[in-house]
Structure 1
């Protein structure tokens, strides 16, 4: 592997990291390093999840050991355990209630609106709904 990046994967910390985001970064690390071999992917994930998560994965894999599972199966176990069940309706209710804070810049407000829309599943209407929410949630300033 000439010119490979060979960057170490940071340890997964369940108290701080979201599994889905971590897995996406892991996949990008594989891509950057030209790793497609199942055996290597499995070794990387098992050596980068930390002892607490490894123990959990061992329990979820029982009666097999994690090393006896496929990479996809390991990711599935962790996704099912760490994944959150999202209520689209609750997410939309929170989205529509957003208001820009007094000290929030327009860039930060836009980022907050975009972030809040992630789990709302607006589909093809996303762009229009984002524009509407951005405008209707802007903090009203006193006229000078």
Structure 2
């Protein structure tokens, strides 16, 4: 009887499909920072001197990002807007507010990304006085 009791768990383990669940990763291969200067300027009156001082908002920090994912699949392009994170030289961070892709690579709103299929996106983050130091991405 003992061989039967031992054989059942062994057969069960062999016949059950193995489930491998690895976290999918996203890797930024390279990026080129692009700063978008604001069109509008503001001003304040200096109470001490009485002069009108013109002020400018800091530029919007954007970048052209080339990235890959650990598995190849189609992704909904507009759901990738918040998947990038920029680190700035002042140690602040900012999440992406928009990500746009080449129209020729979009198929019905989907973009194909994988380890052998790097994809380029134009990604904007936040306004900042400090330039972008590094960019990371995350796929959910």
TM-score above 0.5, yes or no: no
Specify the structure having the higher radius of gyration (Cα).
2
Q: Which has more helix, going by share of residues?
A: 1
**Bucket of the pairwise TM-score, normalised by the shorter protein:** under 0.3
Report the TM-score when normalising by structure 2. Answer: 0.23
- Which has the larger share of strand? 2
